Amino acid sequence: MKKRVSIFTWIVKLVAVLILLQTLFFKFSGAEESVYIFSKLGVEPYGRIGSGVIELIASILILIPRTTLLGALIGFGTMSGALLSHLFVLGISVKNDGGELFALAVITLICCVVLIIQNKEKLPDLLKLKL
């Protein structure tokens, strides 16, 4: 049973990370769609580049077992912002993408929630401050 959970966990991690990393090329290269989205949100170029950096950090943290919870929390926050942006500013479909970006954000958010639930016992340790 332990092996099944481990395989499932790695599938969830890889799905989230692959989606997060796939969007980095578009954000860092200044692709038309990314520039459009962040211009409409009023945070171009800093929001585009900043969110790319945050997503890169979240991806790396998700892959490292000791930091999966932190990466998933960062990914959850980032995807929550993306979904709220779609719902209240951009719309579900952006530049006639048929809602693909929205769907990818939902999938990534769900993966992050699964990882947070799986690692919830580590939350108190994450909150401890060592002074």
Q: What confidence category does residue 97 fall into, taking pLDDT thresholds of 50, 70 and 90?
A: very high
- Report whether pLDDT(50) > 90: yes
To the nearest whole percent, how much of the chain has pLDDT over 70?
Answer: 94
Predicted local distance difference test score (pLDDT) of residue 129: 60
Predicted local distance difference test score (pLDDT) of residue 126: 80
Residues 37/20, Cβ–Cβ less than 8 Å: no
Closest CA to 112 of 1, 20, 4: 20
Predicted local distance difference test score (pLDDT) of residue 56: 98
E strand or H helix at 53, and its extent? helix 46-63
- Report whether pLDDT(100) > 90: yes
- Report whether pLDDT(94) > 70: yes
